[in-house]
Structure 1
Amino acid sequence: MASHPTTEPTAFHAALRNQFETFLDEHRGALHDSLNGLTEEQARRSLVTSRTTLLGLVKHTTFVEKVWFDEAITCRPRSEIGIPDTPDESFVLGDDDTIASVQDAY
């Protein structure tokens, strides 16, 4: 007798969720590790005409995850979560933003 893939919705969703979480964890790790071995100056250097830097990108990703996994789920305001009001602000690096502090926050 031939085996057929399950059409049970819970099995399907569980597999997709597992795949998504694995994908997300791999990309989180790659982004986090992209700062390893860089000096603070290199991590803050902008190589494009925008304010985008590698350190700012990791900081921005922390913001995005807090928007999706905190604000969107709990409906708490950004001020309560402790994140900037706008995505553009999330790229801004303060004097206290270091590779270690941004990686720890992420």
Structure 2
Amino acid sequence: MSDPFSVMVEDERIQLAAFVEEYRTLIAGVLDGLTEEQARRRLVPSATTLLGLVRHAAFLESVWFGTAVSGASRAELGIPDTVEESFLPGDDETVDSVRRHYLQVCERSRAAVVGLGPDDTVSGRGYPITVRWLHLQVLRELAHHCGHADILREQVLAAG
């Protein structure tokens, strides 16, 4: 949409998608301009890093849009069994590969809900979930992790 305010008068489906898209863009952008070392730098007691946050965002998209909509298992989607593992990039993963993977997962998430309205339900996780709730859950998680990423990125850049 060329007018950024036009979403304010669109239907709920478009509004929810627009908010999720905004946070997807922000998460993908946290790695911009970072070296591989900066992206992996741990500045908090947990294993959280900027690279790990983007990796985890791909995981959460897969859990909610992959398993909940399609019913695919974590193994079928190629994602870790635990949340903790989702934050741990492999030695072969890079800023570019993690970002590219995240963007591919986002595309898969978008495709999963094409044609579904906010009141439609999915039950791939074994219980009914409205598409509205699914978008709100992903939005909540992405916004939460964007906050973490803002602080970590500020720390990483300040440290040089």
Do both proteins adopt the same fold according to a TM-score greater than 0.5, normalized to the shorter chain?
A: yes
Q: Give the unaligned 5+ runs of structure 1.
A: 1-13
Per the TM alignment, residue 76 of structure 1 is displaced from its structure 2 partner at its CA by: 1.3
The answer for the alignment partner of 1:19 in structure 2 is 15
User: In the alignment, is residue 80 of structure 1 matched against residue 76 of structure 2?
Assistant: yes
Per the normalisation by structure 1, the TM-score is: 0.84
Instruction: Choose between structure 1 and 2 for higher RCO, CA contacts under 8 A separated by at least 6 residues.
Output: 2
The answer for the alignment partner of 1:47 in structure 2 is 43
SS state of the match for residue 41, structure 1?
helix
Letter in 2 for 1:69: F
Per the normalisation by structure 2, the TM-score is: 0.56
Q: Deviations over 1:51-99 (max 9, x none)?
A: 0000000000000000011111111111111100111110111111100
User: In the alignment, is residue 62 of structure 1 matched against residue 58 of structure 2?
Assistant: yes
Letter in 2 for 1:78: R
Larger Rg: 1
Q: Deviations over 1:9-54 (max 9, x none)?
A: xxxxx71221111111111111111101000000000111100000
Match among 78, 98, 102 for residue 102 of structure 1: 98
Report percent identity of matched pairs: 53
CA RMSD in angstroms comes to 1.0
Q: Which stretches of structure 1, 4 residues or more, deviate above 3 A after TM superposition?
A: none
Number of residue pairs matched by the alignment: 93
- Give the Cα separation in 1 of the matches to 2:48 and 2:80: 16
Letter in 1 for 2:86: S
The answer for the alignment partner of 1:11 in structure 2 is none
- Give the Cα separation in 2 of the matches to 1:97 and 1:58: 12
The answer for the alignment partner of 2:24 in structure 1 is 28
Q: Give the unaligned 5+ runs of structure 2.
A: 1-9, 103-160
